[in-house]
């Protein structure tokens, strides 16, 4: 019997690999040992995840999400909406490929070829259910965020990301240093507090997936990490880059981490106080660019980011959807996968913490 496969891809994505090249090789690899009927579904700016729901039913055997983090989020959102058990394979031809790196599909080296193991993985991958998040009515797979640091994920243009891979993100990060931190009101676990930060992120992935293996159980334990990040000096920014960009666990960045099932992040109409280093960076960047760098109005709502794309503005309301989708992980990691529990018991965690507990406190900053 012929197996049916649906490949979801973004035809406007300017990948490092030509579309005709990866499409042809994908079909050849799929049909190497078995017979597959492969259907390609190109998305458009008007396509919604709900448009895909009617396609996600028997006799479909496999969904392949071919693209970057945005395309992968789109495909996973459709499967979550359909409550479909059909497994999805990630075919990482984007820039960051954050979820693919965390799942071990892409090697952890910064310049690793994203397709080095992709074809073999699709043929031999092992299914595993993972959690998803919902932010202001939209599903996300990796992270949601707001604040100047969050804006750094959205600033690079598509062409720049394709040509420079992760370099444009680093340039955007440098640009955000010149902006003052913001004040947030965060509510979670029945408690609320206010805090100054350069960025607030709620994530299911541990980091950018570079430099170290990820604990797969953390992708399916019913809890997300709420990061409150407030770097003030050059050493802080270096530590953040080394910890989350290079996976260096010995770093101790200014990052509060709270394990949550849900959270509401609101904008407080007040700018934070810039450190001397941030003020110096502002002067340098203004001189280099020839433009004055001014923060947005205090009462202007902040943009919210999910998986590298803008979606709505604050307040940011996030809920964890336990074990929402079935994804394939590399066969060599099958020993990391235990037998799935029923969804009603999926809120248990492999770490001895309770929702709302703080794992690491940031260095106090002057206010």
Express each pLDDT in 268-290 by its tens digit.
Answer: 999 999 999 999 988 988 888 88
Of residues 356 and 58, which shows the higher confidence score? Answer: 58
Q: Helix and strand tally (H, E) in the chain?
A: 10, 17
Q: 62: helix, coil or strand?
A: strand
Residue 112's pLDDT is what? 76
Sign of the alpha-carbon torsion through 286, 245, 109, 107: negative
Dist CA 85 CA 327 (whole Å): 9
The dihedrals phi and psi of 123, each to the nearest 5 degrees, come to: -75, -30
pLDDT of residue 113: 82
pTM: 0.84
Positive or negative, the Cα torsion across 346, 349, 354, 360? Answer: negative
Sign of CA dihedral 97, 103, 104, 108: positive
Mean pLDDT in residue range 234-247:
80
pLDDT band at residue 349 using 50, 70 and 90 as cut-offs: very low
Q: Is a pLDDT exceeding 60 seen at residue 307?
A: yes
Question: Residue 81: pLDDT band by 50, 70, 90 thresholds?
Answer: very high
- The tokens for 170 are 């680093």
pLDDT bucket at 114, cuts 50 / 70 / 90 = confident
**Which residue bears the tokens 């370099």?**
167
Q: Which domains does the chain have, with CATH numbers?
A: 3-131+323-345 (3.40.50.10330), 143-318+352-360 (2.60.200.40)
CA–CA gap between residue 54 and residue 84 (Å, rounded): 11
Distance of CA 119 to the CA centre of its chain: 23
Percent of residues, the chain, with pLDDT higher than 90 = 53
Give CA–CA dist 99/120, Å, rounded.
Answer: 18
Q: Is the dihedral of CA 209, 211, 213, 214 positive or negative?
A: negative
Compute the average pLDDT of residues 215-223: 92
């Amino acid at each position: 019997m012929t197996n049916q496969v649906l490949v979801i891809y973004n035809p406007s994505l300017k990948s490092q690999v030509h579309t005709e090249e990866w499409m042809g090789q994908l079909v050849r690899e799929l049909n190497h040992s078995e017979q597959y009927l492969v259907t390609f579904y190109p998305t458009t700016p008007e396509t919604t995840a709900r448009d895909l729901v009617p396609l996600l039913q028997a006799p479909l055997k496999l969904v392949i999400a071919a693209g970057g983090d945005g395309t992968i989020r789109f495909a996973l959102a459709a499967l979550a909406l359909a409550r479909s058990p059909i497994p999805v394979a990630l075919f990482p031809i984007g820039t960051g490929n954050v979820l693919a790196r965390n799942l071990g599909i892409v090697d952890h080296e910064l310049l690793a070829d994203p397709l080095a193991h992709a074809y073999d993985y699709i043929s031999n991958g092992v299914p595993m259910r993972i959690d998803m998040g919902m932010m202001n009515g939209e599903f996300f797979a990796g992270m949601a965020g707001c604040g100047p640091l969050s804006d750094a994920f959205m600033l690079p243009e598509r062409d720049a990301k394709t040509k420079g891979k992760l370099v444009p993100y680093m340039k955007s990060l440098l640009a955000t240093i010149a902006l003052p931190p913001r004040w947030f009101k965060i509510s979670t676990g029945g408690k609320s507090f206010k805090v100054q930060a350069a960025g607030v992120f709620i994530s299911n992935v541990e980091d950018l997936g570079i430099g170290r293996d990820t604990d797969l159980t953390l992708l399916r334990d019913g809890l997300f990490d709420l990061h409150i990040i407030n770097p003030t000096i050059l050493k802080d920014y270096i530590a953040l880059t080394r910890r989350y960009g290079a996976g260096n666990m010995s770093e101790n960045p200014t990052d509060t981490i709270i394990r949550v099932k849900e959270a509401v992040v609101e904008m407080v109409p007040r700018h934070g106080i810039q450190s001397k280093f941030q003020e110096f960076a502002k002067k340098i960047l203004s001189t280099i660019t020839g433009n004055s760098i001014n923060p947005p109005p205090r009462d202007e709502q902040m943009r919210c980011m999910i998986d590298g794309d803008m979606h709505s503005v604050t307040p940011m309301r996030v809920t964890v959807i336990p074990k929402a989708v079935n994804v394939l992980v590399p066969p060599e990691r099958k020993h990391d996968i235990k037998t799935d529990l029923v969804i009603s018991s999926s809120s248990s965690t492999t770490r001895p913490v309770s929702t709302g507990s703080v794992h690491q406190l940031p260095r106090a900053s002057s206010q």
